[in-house]
């Protein structure tokens, strides 16, 4: 059993001050990430071309979310790194070829009759390259007049899942679409969702017209409203939770979105995890709790490409269960079958 917990970094102030504090505290991991970044540009695109494309995205982002550009400028100042490289790190869709294979992530949601006490719960595994686990950090951020939020970050650059003091929670999945374009990077869409005070605001962010691409964003509020918003750059489908349970992995479920799948012949593992997740939700209906989800996230069906992933190029680097109703979460590093979860609350 893995007993270590993920470090937590608490920051507050203006957006620039918050960014500077993150950059200073997580400088070694941010610098290491930028070093790796140079080897991640798609074949046929130079480093200079990647930076040029990122500058196009920056122009859109300054127009829509100047506060988050200031936050990243603060990160660059604190880490003593070039801002254009920091921003490129946030433009992960530009670094992926169209056929890029999604590394994974499995998500569950349950509410009402499905949970032991009627609360709304989200559960998420985050699958990444094994070396990314070392740079994990939990960010507790109070930026300007936005709601305080708590989120899990890889190397201090971007958030993968979290919730805020207004009761808005976010998890989600990588989906690979064929319509990526210059626009606001999806990692900054995630950042904006965590600043939402209502689910309607979070939904508006998911549907931002100027987006470069999108994740499948799972958003929820304390009223028990849960949506899985399958997104791309030019289209979306908002899937509402049905019969009090929901699951999603790394392919489009909506027939209207399937034509945007980058490679429909490369989603077999995602299909298997999705149906396994739905089966686990049905079999545990009415008994779902944070503790039960800890066990479900450790599921090894189709091992090593299971919900609890033990691959070589891709493994589960952290998992999280969010009690949206009570604004608390349980987060554990590494594989769910080995981890010890730590509870956090706002």
DSSP state, residue 297: T
The DSSP secondary structure of 82-122, one letter per residue, reads: -HHHHHHHH-GGGGS-TTPPP---EEEEEEETTBSSEEEEE
Q: Would you tell me how many other CB atoms lie within 10 Å of the CB of residue 342?
A: 15
Assign 45 a pLDDT band (cuts: 50, 70, 90): confident
Q: Which pLDDT score, from 0 to 100, does residue 207 have?
A: 98
The rounded mean pLDDT for the chain is: 94
- Mean pLDDT throughout 44-54? 89
- Mean pLDDT throughout 306-319? 94
How many angstroms from the chain centroid is the CA of residue 146? 19
Residues composing the chain: 346
Q: pTM score, two decimals?
A: 0.96
Which residue segments constitute the domains of the chain, with CATH numbers given?
Answer: 12-95 (no CATH), 106-345 (3.60.60.10)
- pLDDT tens by residue, 60-104: 999 999 999 999 999 999 999 999 999 999 999 887 653 344 467
- pLDDT tens by residue, 169-220: 999 999 999 999 999 999 999 999 999 999 999 999 999 999 999 999 999 9
> Strand order in 8-13's β-sheet?
8-13, 136-143, 149-154, 161-164, 169-173, 216-220, 226-231, 236-240
- Mean pLDDT throughout 14-42? 93
Q: Which residues have a Cβ under 8 Å from the Cβ of 59 and sit 6 or more positions away?
A: none
- pLDDT tens by residue, 241-283: 999 999 999 999 999 999 999 988 889 999 999 999 999 999 9
Give backbone dihedrals phi and psi of 116, rounded to 5 degrees, phi first: -65, -30
- pLDDT tens by residue, 124-168: 999 998 999 999 999 999 999 999 999 999 999 999 999 999 999
- Mean pLDDT throughout 46-55? 92
**Distance separating alpha carbons of residues 340 and 326, to the nearest angstrom:** 21
Residue 296 has pLDDT above 90, yes or no: yes
Summary count for the chain: helices (H), strands (E): 9, 14
83-to-26, 89, 192, 333 alpha-carbon distances in Å: 15, 10, 20, 29
């Amino acid at each position: 059993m893995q007993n270590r917990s993920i470090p937590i970094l608490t920051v507050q102030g203006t957006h620039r001050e918050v960014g500077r504090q993150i950059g200073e505290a997580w400088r070694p991991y941010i610098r290491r990430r930028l070093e790796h970044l140079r080897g991640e540009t798609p074949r046929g695109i130079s480093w200079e071309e990647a930076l040029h494309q990122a500058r196009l995205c920056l122009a859109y982002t300054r127009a829509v979310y100047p506060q988050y550009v200031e936050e990243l400028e603060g990160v660059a100042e604190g880490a003593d790194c070039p801002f254009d490289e920091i921003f490129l790190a946030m433009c992960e869709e530009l670094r992926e070829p169209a056929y890029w294979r999604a590394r994974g992530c499995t998500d569950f949601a349950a509410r009402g009759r499905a949970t032991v006490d009627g609360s709304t719960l989200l559960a998420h595994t985050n699958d990444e390259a094994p070396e990314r686990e070392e740079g994990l950090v939990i960010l507790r951020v109070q930026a300007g007049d936005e709601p305080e939020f708590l989120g899990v970050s890889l190397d201090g650059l971007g958030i993968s899942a979290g919730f805020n003091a207004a009761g808005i929670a976010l998890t989600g999945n990588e989906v690979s679409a064929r319509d990526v374009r210059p626009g606001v990077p999806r990692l900054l869409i995630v950042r904006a969702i965590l600043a939402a005070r209502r689910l309607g605001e979070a939904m508006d962010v998911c549907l931002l017209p100027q987006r470069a691409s999108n994740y499948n964003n799972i958003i929820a509020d304390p009223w028990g409203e849960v949506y899985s918003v399958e997104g791309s750059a030019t289209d979306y489908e908002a899937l509402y939770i049905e019969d009090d349970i929901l699951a999603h992995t790394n392919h489009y479920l909506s027939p209207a979105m399937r034509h945007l799948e980058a490679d429909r012949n490369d989603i077999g593992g995602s299909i298997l995890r999705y149906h396994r997740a739905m089966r686990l939700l049905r079999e545990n209906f009415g008994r779902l709790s944070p503790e039960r989800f800890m066990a479900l996230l450790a599921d090894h069906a189709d091992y090593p490409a299971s919900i609890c992933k033990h691959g070589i190029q891709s493994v589960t680097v952290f998992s999280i269960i969010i009690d949206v109703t009570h604004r608390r979460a349980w987060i554990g590093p590494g594989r769910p079958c080995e981890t010890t979860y730590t509870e956090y609350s706002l």
